[in-house]
Amino acid sequence: MITLERIVRELRDYDGEEIKIMEVCGTHTSSIFKNGIRSLISPKIRLISGPGCPVCVTPSVYVDKLVDIAGQEGHCVLTFGDMMKVKGSRMSLTEAVAAGARVRVLYSPLDAVKIALEDKNTQYVFAAVGFETTTPVYGVLLDEITKREIHNLKLLTSLKIMVPALSYVCENEKNIDAFLAPGHVSVIIGCDVYKELAQKYKKPFVVAAL
């Protein structure tokens, strides 16, 4: 029987050829770091952060636009907290707030509906970033905006899809041996897309999330 102890031992004692595993999702990177997984595995197994953090792959020009909007009279940017410290070419949203701009951090994009209805004199703009996991939530938000005829809530989108990013990595980073595929994205898109990549590039993919 394969026990957790045996897996830990094998990962720690591995002394074969160097293996590079890309953790595709930002949550993977965070979980691996928080749980000290790097310290449990052999130095011959390298974990490489991938392109799957929607905040990290946000272009600076997008942050610049948010900063401009937040600084406009009668405007307010609504955002996930993760975006606050991302640098644009001039400043981050945190720095924009310090300079007098209006920004509010929300847990859910759907909270924006109530905020917009309560203050119709302000034009709210939600910083809609994300991959496939978050996109359906924006769909629900747009549905609410349309149904309730809310005119002071808009979305500035920077939405991405995972497979082209992974295809690019497979095509251009030949030295990656395996991929830890994003779990929450796979809740939306399923696992078949990885089969195609695995067959084309002859690399193993394992879907995992926490």
Residues that bind other proteins (CB under 8 A): 25-27, 35, 53-55, 80-82, 107-111, 129-131, 133-134, 136-137, 139-140, 143, 182, 184, 187-188, 209-210
Per-residue exposure over 63-83, b if at least 16 CB sit within 10 Å of its own CB, e if not:
bebbbebbbeeebbbbbbebb
Cβ 16 to other proteins shortest distance, Å:
30
Q: Which is nearer to other proteins, 19 or 137 (CB)?
A: 137
Partner residues linked to 104 by β-bridges: 78
DSSP state string for 10-21: HHHH--SS-EEE
Cβ 128 to other proteins shortest distance, Å:
11
Cβ 47 to other proteins shortest distance, Å:
17
Q: Which is nearer to other proteins, 46 or 184 (CB)?
A: 184
Which of helix, strand or coil describes residue 113? helix
Q: Which is nearer to other proteins, 73 or 118 (CB)?
A: 118
Q: Which is nearer to other proteins, 44 or 136 (CB)?
A: 136
Q: Which is nearer to other proteins, 61 or 210 (CB)?
A: 210
Cβ 34 to other proteins shortest distance, Å:
9
Alpha-helix residue ranges (DSSP H) falling in the chain: 4-13, 26-34, 60-71, 93-98, 111-118, 135-147, 162-172, 183-189, 192-201
Cβ 140 to other proteins shortest distance, Å:
5
